């Protein structure tokens, strides 16, 4: 999609502030793919990234009356996105008691972030062997290549809902494996691999 000029974007923001849903949709569809990839790099799980993305735009809509005073909307949007995504990750970390023990153990063993990422990758690869090859391929496209459900659907000739079903199969398998093999939730395993340097309360 062609990027709107600053003037056009300013007009859209003014319209959004007045409650114009079509203007909001135009801004949403312009930024959604890049913003999704940005969030996915932080949370690693496509389904979680999709949820966080919706939350971010909901925050933008709820604060729409402030938009006419925003001088650089992309910077504003990505600041909101980064802050909300990190809040989500920190919330998961605080609510998962098992994560504290795991992070403390790895720190005591002086295992660095690269090693944690390799351990997490081995766990993912092993767990995904239990699902059909097509679901595994779709998971890797979404998670590792940062593709959206729509992009994967177009490339593989299937609908967005079909992609989502395959992802749900993969996530459910990983969730069960994390709880069975690691003794923690899937969210905790992801946080361990991606934000091990966070301060755990």
- Per-position pLDDT tens, the chain of length 201: 445 554 488 899 999 999 999 999 999 999 999 999 999 888 877 777 888 899 999 999 999 999 998 989 999 999 999 999 988 887 665 544 444 544 454 445 444 455 545 656 666 677 777 788 888 888 888 877 878 888 999 999 999 888 888 888 877 777 777 666 655 555 555 554 444 333 333
Dihedrals φ, ψ of 165, to 5°? -65, -40
Name the class of domain 6-93: mainly alpha
Please state whether the predicted TM-score (pTM) of the whole model is above 0.75: no
**CATH class of the domain defined by 97-194:** mainly alpha
Concatenating the DSSP letter of every residue in 79-115 gives HHHHHHHHHHHHHHHHH-HHHHHHHHHHHHTT--HHH
Start-to-end CA distance of the chain, whole Å, equals 43
Domain ranges of the chain: 6-93, 97-194
């Amino acid at each position: 999609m062609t990027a709107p000029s600053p003037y056009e974007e300013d007009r859209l923001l003014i319209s959004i502030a007045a409650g114009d849903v079509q203007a909001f949709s135009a801004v949403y569809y312009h930024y959604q793919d890049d913003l999704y990839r940005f969030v996915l790099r932080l949370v690693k799980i496509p389904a979680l990234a999709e949820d966080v993305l919706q939350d971010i735009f909901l925050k933008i809509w709820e604060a729409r009356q402030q938009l006419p005073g925003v001088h650089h909307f992309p910077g504003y949007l990505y600041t909101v996105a980064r802050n909300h995504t990190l809040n989500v990750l920190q919330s998961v970390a605080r609510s998962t008691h098992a994560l504290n023990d795991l992070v403390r153990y790895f720190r005591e063993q002086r295992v660095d972030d690269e090693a944690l990422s390799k351990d997490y990758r081995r766990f993912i690869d092993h767990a995904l062997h239990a699902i059909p090859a097509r679901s595994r391929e779709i998971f890797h496209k979404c998670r590792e290549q940062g593709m959206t459900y729509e992009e994967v659907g177009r490339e593989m000739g299937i609908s967005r809902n079909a992609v989502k079903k395959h992802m749900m199969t993969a996530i459910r398998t990983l969730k069960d494996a994390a709880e069975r093999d690691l003794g923690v939730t899937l969210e905790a395993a992801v946080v361990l691999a991606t934000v091990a340097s966070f301060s755990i309360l």
